[in-house]
Structure 1
């Protein structure tokens, strides 16, 4: 189980690193990868891309903190607001996960639904 979580986390980090590199190369596009229409509004596709990019950036920031076991953490982003859910094995990691997410550029609000992972049988 831990090997699968570790593999999932490594894959997530690899995707995040690759996507950050792609976003960095698109210098002519709008900030955070948003597509802007001629009237100045953002398209639905551009908003989804920006949300995915923000989500990947938060995952990458969590991966940099080795004290956080983020194998069972899920992140959703919408318009700068980030919701984090899942479980962590240590109570101190709950506040650390929230603080790391708040420190990511582009994050305007963080909702944490992270809970403490209980051992089997309890």
Structure 2
């Protein structure tokens, strides 16, 4: 009975000791020399991640909106690291390629995946 209590106490102490060392670890990038200077000057590095993807998506939307002949209400744009995916529908078959070309012309776009379809009229014909 006494040995079981001692064993449980020892296991508990090991768990506490390992959890304390796990919390005290730091990342390698933060401890690298000059990392704090690079982090302080955010304008030195280009924007990456979610913010850059949102910015690129907005730029593609803006470029499409400049073409009044395109009904962009049913078009969604997904941007990830320069790769743009176009989803949704357009009113005319000629607009499918036009929208893709507009997206390719936006600075920062590296590739375009065009999943646009032509919207069928309400009668379905």
TM-score (norm 1): 0.64
Find the partner of 1:30 among 34, 45, 59. Answer: 45
SS of aligned partner of 1:121: coil
Of structures 1 and 2, the one scoring higher in RCO (CA 8 A, sep 6+) is 1
Q: Secondary structure at the match of 2:116?
A: strand
> What is the distance in 1 between the residues matched to 2:123 and 2:106?
37
Q: Give 5+ residue unaligned stretches, structure 2.
A: 1-41
Q: Which has the larger radius of gyration?
A: 2
Number of equivalenced pairs: 83
Asked whether 1:49 is paired with 2:51, we answer: yes
- Unpaired stretches in structure 1, ≥5 consecutive residues: 1-26, 35-46
Q: TM-score, normalised by structure 2?
A: 0.63
Q: Secondary structure at the match of 1:51?
A: helix
- In structure 2, how many angstroms separate the alpha carbons of the residues matched to 1:30 and 1:103? 24
Three-state SS of the structure 2 residue aligned to 1:49 is helix
